[in-house]
Chains A and B, each alone.
Chain A
Amino acid sequence: MRQQYARRSQALTYVMAFIAVAVVVQMLRIQNSEEAAIFRKRASNYAYELRTFYPDRGEIYDRNGHLLAGNKTVYEIGVDLRAVKDANAIANALNMELGTDYMTAINAIAYPSEDISYVVLADFVDAESALHLQELKQTLQQQAPEGVSGGLTGLDFKAHPQRSYPEGALASNILGFVTREGRGYFGVEEKYDTLLAGNSVKVLLPTDPNKAFEIPRVPDGTNLILTISRDLQSAAEQILDEAIFNYGAQGGVIVVMDPRNGELLAMSATPRMDLNRFWEYGAIYSNASEFNPAISMPYEPGSVLKILTMAAALNSGSVTPDTTYLDTGSILVGGVMIQNWDQEPWGLQDMTGCLQHSLNVCMATLSTQMGAGTFYSYMDNFGLGHLTGVDLAGEAAGRLKIPGDADWYPVDLGTNAFGQGVAVTPIQILMAASSIANHGRTVVPHALSAMVRDGRQYNVPAQFAGSPISDQTAATLTAMLAHSLESESSLALVPGYRVAGKTGTAQIPVNGYYDPSQTNASFIGWGPVDDPQFMIYVWLERPSASIWGSETAAPVFAEMAEQTTILLDIPPDNIRQQLAAR
């Protein structure tokens, strides 16, 4: 009996062991079968998804922290073709809410391309419209009988950022814009496109929650802080618009720069565009150089260039402020007769008188006295004919013909001295003149004040481009220019502040001849003279109320300078001197 029981137990043990082994063998067989390999392969297709992470584009602020360019959420609206129940309802809803074409939507849903399960019907839809559609989808779903899908089932919403400019057209010529493809055009947006956009990252993202820590952290684009003051920019744009209207000009530019470090404080130009409607670019501008004429439109500046000629003459020792000269009203240079702007002789003049009365003959005399080598060497050192290096996209270099060039003639030595036959941009004039306002040192104009990335702020230091003249020459010339403005009771004078500057009235060449009725009126000035904190350049294109820079650009300079002193908290000279005396 006992043995029989033992045998049964043993048999049962073997059976159980066999079943256990069979289960294990079967498990191994299934796991290593061809079907298992197929299933594993199928599963692996869902284990990871390839995703591209696009970091948010960096924001742009003005020097006081006002947002000039940010991001806002817009929606891509598409259809999951596998889930669509009513293509007609979807096409109708989109037509009513977004104004999209009904038939286009129907065709896209009903006749999709092969192997496509998702169709985009609209993109860059604003949040409000997308929300309306989402609510409509929910309402239809709630109204549908139980177990039946709503009419907009399959409609899908994907949020993504889009560039937004809260200030609209303000500083549009400085900022530039970003297209829907995410590429920056013009200004800061193009110049710092790589920094702002950040680096997109393409990764295989595990769907397994146990591997959630593998989700990459993609840093956003770098935020930029500009040197521009929003309020000063707004004032500059308003003053420019009023000046263009009052003087009947076709266009204009006002640039405000700190001559001590090259920080651009304001840069207004016309025309401007609402950056949120960048697609209107083609209707507003006929070519790229019109977007920001302050840096990309070279023109003959006329008499404002005389300050550079005088600086060269003073620094080279050719003349002193007291050097006298007898103005006969004309001079022959390179076989061509050069005359004063009024075609009249001005008699005995000193160098301050030359500047005060803006005598072409005097300037041509100075340049010929210096000789082509010295004169063009100074002009080259001032940066004429070279890019300034301003950190805005689309800068033009202008043109300074020099002896040896095929199109240079001896008369150019005379005409270049008073700003004819030479093409410069406003930013070049500002950079060149900064050496006079900044103790002989030329500053590189720039719009970027700092970059913010990964919680750290990197400030951009001032850059200098050389010292074409001495500190003493700069001081002497500044005093001469200030005195000449005061002597003629210029409209550029600013009550309470001593300023230095020079007008320019340049006739515009038409069909190879200078048209006396069409001029570029300009003014370059800076102040306060004893401690220059702003430098302003005004350019009015073809003013019809008066052709003279002294009657159009000069008062615009004064108005801009007044606003600058208010907005930058620059006290009048007497108060500053009181403060300095303490």
Chain B
Amino acid sequence: MNIPNVTHFIHAYKVAPWRIQRQWIGNALLAVVTLAMVATLYLDVTAKAAIAGREIQDLNAAILASQQASADLQTDLASLTSASVMKERALELGFRPMIPEEAEYLIVPGYAAPRPVILVTAPLPQMSAPSIPPEYNESLLDWMDEKIAMSAKGIQ
């Protein structure tokens, strides 16, 4: 095959209608596949976020239930160790109230007289949701909205 023929063949190949159509179809398919991938990703992220949100709601309910159970137990414990109950139990065990003459005072170096109770030792960490970065709770559309708004601001 001589060179003009080769050139002619390449030209004919390039302008062949079926090739242009195939390019169009290829591009269209690529766009569809890309959109499908984005949609799948979006669906996956949204589903995961929804599941996480539902878990947060469930955990909040569980926290409330635990707090109620804790308050109940604390009150029950206080009832079981109330002054009247403890006194009754002590008498049943054979104890009796002490009289002042029976008190013996010992000198204990470094002993400090009891002060009113301190119920907290350190501040609790702040466990509030607003500290979660936006990446973990915004949707793809939210993210795009934000980017568009930011670019619009940049243009202005």
Contacts and interface: CB of A to CB of B under 8 A. Distances in A.
Interface of A: 2, 6, 9, 56, 59, 61, 63-67, 70-73, 127, 159, 161, 164, 166-168, 170, 208-215, 217, 223, 225, 227, 230-231, 233-234, 449-450, 452, 454-457, 459, 495-496, 562, 565-566, 569, 571-572, 575, 579, 582
B84 A170 contact: yes
Contact of B53 (A66, A210, A225): A210
B56 A215 contact: yes
A130 B68 CA distance: 15
Contact of A455 (B60, B74, B124, B139): B124
Interface stretch (B6-14, B35-43, B98-106, B148-156): B98-106
Nearest to B24: A13
A452 B83 contact: no
Given A209-B57, A211-B53, A455-B122, A227 B116 contact: yes
B50 interface: yes
B29 interface: no
B68 A210 contact: no
Contacts, number: 136
A319 to B, nearest CB: 37
Contacts of B139: 210
Interface in B82-125: 82-84, 87, 98-101, 103, 105, 107, 113-114, 116-120, 122-124
Given A223-B119, A566-B100, A67 B74 contact: yes
B17 A161 contact: no
B49 interface: yes
Contacts of A452: 119-120
Contacts of A127: 72
B2 interface: no
B27 interface: no
Interface residues of B, number: 52
B130 A170 contact: no
A215 B129 contact: yes
Q: Is the interface of A mostly helix, strand, loop or mixed?
A: mixed
Given A71-B71, A579-B107, A61 B117 contact: yes
B132 interface: yes
Interface of B: 17, 21, 46, 49-54, 56-57, 60, 67-69, 71-72, 74-79, 81-84, 87, 98-101, 103, 105, 107, 113-114, 116-120, 122-124, 127-130, 132, 137, 139
A454 B124 contact: yes
Contacts of A566: 98, 100, 103
Contacts of A217: 127-129
Contacts of A213: 53, 56, 129-130, 132, 137
Contacts of B68: 73, 159, 161
B83 A167 contact: yes
Given A213-B129, A575-B105, A569 B113 contact: yes
B54 A161 contact: no
Contacts of B118: 450, 457
B49 to A, nearest CB: 5
A149 to B, nearest CB: 25
A212 B83 contact: no
A64 B75 contact: no
B53 A212 contact: yes
